[in-house]
Structure 1
C-alpha cells in the first residue's frame, strides 16, 4: 500500500508538472537563406569600410583589387620573368598583421619559410597573391577574412572575422 501511495504521488506530480506552462518558452527564430545573405553582406560592407579606413592612412600604397577581394601592391619590382605556378615551392619572408597593427606572425630574419603554391594549407588569399609576384619582388597583400581565416580565425593569433595584412618578399621559386 505504501508503494502504491508513493507511485500514485509520483505520477500525480509528473502529470501536474507536465500540464503547467513553462515560464520561458523556447522561441525558434525565423531564419532563412535570405537572412544569412543579408547578414553576410552587412559583415562584408563593414569589413570593406575598415579596409578603406586603413588604406586612407597609407596613401603611398597603390593597391589593386582582384575579383576575389584580395588587394595587393607590389612595392619592389624586379626584372625577373620567373613567377610561381601551382605545384611549385616558394621561399618567402613575411610579416602578418591585423589592421590595428598587431603583428601575428613573421618569418625569422635570414630564415625564409617555404610552401607549395596551391598545395599548402595556408590562406587562399596568399596563394592568389603570390602568383601575382615575380622572384625577388616585395608586396603588401590585404586579405579580407574570407580569403584569410574566416569565421573562426586561426585559433591562435588571428581572431575570428579578421582582415590580415601581409608584407611579403618572394625570395625564390623551386
Structure 2
C-alpha cells in the first residue's frame, strides 16, 4: 500500500511540475486589413499631393518652396534683416497668429477667429504641419503653408469646421521668439 501511495505521490508531483504550454489563438489574421489600410492611405496622400500641385501650377506667379517634411510654403513677408537669423528651437516660446483656408483659398478660420497664441516648440499640442512650419520662420515673417491632410488635422478633422482628411492652407505670422531660459531642458 505504501508503494502504491508513493507512486501516486510521484505521479501527482510529475503532473504538477509540467511546464506551461503556449495557447494559440482560435483564428489567425494575416494582417491583410492593415496592408489594405496602408495602401488606401498611400493612394489618398498621392491624390492630395497631386491636387495641391495642380493648385500651385495654376498660381505660377508664386514661388513655392517644398519642405523636407512633406508640405509646401511661400513667403508673404520675408525678413530682410540680415542680423535676424534665429529660427525657433526645441522649448523656445513663439507668439504667432494664423488663419486657415481650404487649398483653393476659401476661408475656414478668418483672421481673429484663432486668437494670438503662445506655443512652446515641441512641448505642446499643435497640428504636425504647423509645428514643423514654425521652425522654418523668423520673427516678423508671414508664411502661407499648404498642408496635405496628414500634416493638418488628419482623419478626425478639428471636430469643428475642418472635416476628415481635408488638406488646408495656413497663413502664419510669427511675432516673437523667446529663447528657452532653462539650459537643462535643452540637453534632454
TM-score bin, normalised by smaller chain: 0.7 to 0.9
Instruction: Provide the rounded CA distance (Å) in 1 between the counterparts of 2:117 and 2:61.
Output: 27
Contact 1:93 1:106 in 2 (8 A): no
Aligned residue for 1:32, secondary structure, equals helix
Query: Which residue pairs with 2:160 in the alignment?
Result: 156
Q: 2:107 aligns with which of 84, 92, 103?
A: 103
> Partners in 1 of 2:123 and 2:62 — Cα distance?
29
Q: Which has the larger radius of gyration?
A: 2
Unaligned residue ranges in structure 1 (runs of 5+): 1-29
Aligned pairs, number: 144
* CA deviation vs aligned residue, 1:57-99 (integer Å, no higher than 9, x gap): 2223222222331212223221212221121111112211112
Residue in structure 2 matching 1:88, options 92, 96, 110 = 92
Distance 2:104 2:85 in 1: 35
TM-score (norm 2): 0.69
Alignment root-mean-square deviation, CA = 2.0
The answer on whether the counterparts of 1:96 and 1:165 sit within 8 Å (CA) in structure 2 is: yes
In 1, Cα distance between equivalents of 2:125 and 2:66: 23
Q: 2:150 aligns to what?
A: 146
Shift of 1:31: 4.1
Give the TM-score taking structure 1 as reference length: 0.74
SS in 2 for 1:158: coil
For 1:128, which of 110, 127, 132 is the aligned residue?
A: 132
Residue 42 of structure 2 is aligned to residue 38 of structure 1: no
